[in-house]
Amino acid sequence: MLKFFFLLLAILFNIASADDYLFTFCSNSKNYTRNSTFENNLKQLLVSLPSNTSVTGFYNTSIGDHSSDQVYTQALCRGDVNSTICQACIEKAGQHILEQCKREDAIIWYELCQVRYSFQRFFSSMIYAGKYIDLNDNNEEIISDRVRFREVMLFLMNSLSYEAAYDPSKRMFVTGEVKYSSKETIYGLVQCTRDISNSSCDNCLKSAIGDLKACCSSRNRGIIVSRNCNVRFDLNLFYNASSSLLAYPTSKDDQKIELALLHDIASPTRVAITQEGELVSSVEPFFMDLATIRSATDEFSDSNKLGKGGFGTVYKGVLPEGKEVAVKRLSRKSWQGLEEFKNEVILIAKLQHRNLVKLLGCGIEGEEKLLVYEVLQFTFTHDSMNLDISIEFSDSERRSQLDWKTCYNIIGGIAKGLLYLHEDSRLKIIHRDLKPSNVLLDQEMVAKISDFGMARIFCENQNMANTKRVVGTYGYMAPEYAMEGVFSVKSDVFSFGVILLEIISGKRNSGFYRTEHAQTLLAYAWRLWCEGKVLEFVDCILMESCWTSEIVRCIHIGLLCVQEDPEDRPNMSSVVTLLGSESIALPEPKHPAFAVARFIQIDEFLETIPSINDLSLSSISPQ
């Protein structure tokens, strides 16, 4: 009981009061005129703020009929204070800012609240400019192991900032603690103004934590305040809110990667459904320990091996609760493997769609980098296995069990998955390595795009990008990407067109030059199209079950997708529309890419490279 009493005293001693003033920022805007309409409006709003803010802890409003007298105000109370303390703090701050500043734009911070006003609208906008607050003169650099302290402190603050930005239930305010040593705990707090977006809150907190690292990573406490967010840590408990105890990862390398992933995933659990029911519930990926994954895959036994790619091997596994999964074990010594691991986790966590493979979890421990996916089962025999369409369309026995309807649905599924990546998700994603082995099939033969290690995010208004490091797979890269390093949504459209033509013909574009038909599958399709013999392009197995007009239309769409000029290719929304409607007229295709002599020189060059299928693409080296 006595111990509890002293603990309570310590908490009360460190908890701030409404009178704990921090700082006032008066901008370089002009002074407002004494007794002007602007000043009267400002005073009126400041009087109304305390009671209105105390209801929810946040409030903004404006007043004024003309631009010269308009005033915008905003107030925020720290998330751990009650309405009485909140109201008292806002009232004190409102009075204080009038005394301290006569500018038309200003903000004042107390430990428990902040008040801001301006002559121009600032609601919902985030412009970061952080201010370090020196809390007292005794804040000495007393940390002995500064490196470890900085890492643990940043782990705490980054973890809290992710939760504040993307967990709606937190209302952009989170506290937490982590053990720094057996005797010391670091306490942390982060908060954003609730008028900004999740991503703006995330960006603001990232910047503030960066400033916190610069000023205070060897101090026993630190605080950064800004217009839209505030962050603080202390070795003494300073808040009055329930908080979670975080466990600091034991491996420094694991911690760095997990923090980067945790901070960049930015994907709250959610459920979203389109009119066609295409979107699925999104469950945030979680970190799994190596022992669990080793046990699930029987120590990565060869009997559980499903396949091998350029960056690692895929194993079938069974989790302790009986759930079947596919585990991708990335190459242990590959830097490319590490980059692919981080890229894939971050991207797939943000993307959820019926035609995209679902990431269930991930693990990082030492040199081990593991991705855990839903297992996609399809049974042609009595064995369950992860199946990709490259297996389907190269295995004559299995292909003989396919009909046109199934193939048509697979084509449509790939198209819808790409459309989601390009236009319908909250990000604009370019896959960059779309090929048959990266399209998996589930038990109902639903196509699911996988392998996002090479994918890239585009800004909302960005149409293309250029890279000196071309990555991808020979036979599926658009010419502008293979030759010049330029990629866009249209380069993915090209890859889709190649896959579509491969599905219909039952033949691979890669290695097609060894046949007597043409230098490429695309050139062969174009020749038959021009000669009016396009049905000769269709696999005889599909001819038995297809509608002639429908399959010819699909070939037509495929040729449009593989045009030499990216501008001549349709976007994926047009492709999905064209696949779903026979009434829409199609433009005449032109010469497809790689249907000319210059491609022969590349083929001749590639023939000199040994073990061509085992190479990763760097510059123009096929995988």
Catalytic residues: 433
Nearest to 372 by CA among 384, 381, 364: 364
Q: Which two tokens stand for residue 507?
A: 């033949």
Write down the residue that tokens 């050139």 correspond to: 523
Q: Which two tokens stand for residue 480?
A: 């502008």
Strands (E), 21-119: 21-26, 58-63, 71-77, 105-110, 113-118
Determine the Cα–Cα distance for residues 439 and 415; give it in Å rounded to an integer.
11
Determine the Cα–Cα distance for residues 603 and 520; give it in Å rounded to an integer.
10
3-state SS assignment for residue 318: strand
Type of residue found at 23: F
Type of residue found at 126: M
Write down the residue that tokens 């701030």 correspond to: 16
Write down the residue that tokens 């998700």 correspond to: 425
3-state SS assignment for residue 491: helix
| 470 neighbors 482 (Cβ within 8 angstroms) | yes
**Packing angle of the helix pair 404-419, 548-561 (nearest 10 deg):** 30
Write down the residue that tokens 């000043």 correspond to: 39
Taken in order 31, 33, 35, 38, is the CA torsion positive or negative?
A: negative
Compute and round to an integer the Cα radius of gyration of the chain: 30
Determine the Cα–Cα distance for residues 254 and 121; give it in Å rounded to an integer.
44
Q: Which two tokens stand for residue 503?
A: 């599905």
| 359 neighbors 349 (Cβ within 8 angstroms) | yes
Nearest to 605 by CA among 585, 620, 623, 595: 620
Q: Is 328 part of any known ligand binding site?
A: yes
Type of residue found at 494: F
Strands (E), 259-365: 286-287, 305-308, 312-318, 324-330, 359-365
Determine the Cα–Cα distance for residues 78 and 201; give it in Å rounded to an integer.
15
The total of other beta-carbon atoms located within 10 Å of residue 412's CB is 17
The total of other beta-carbon atoms located within 10 Å of residue 264's CB is 18
| 290 neighbors 401 (Cβ within 8 angstroms) | no
3-state SS assignment for residue 376: coil
Q: H or E segment at 464?
A: strand 464-466
Residues annotated in a binding site for ATP = 328
| Binding-site residue ranges | 328
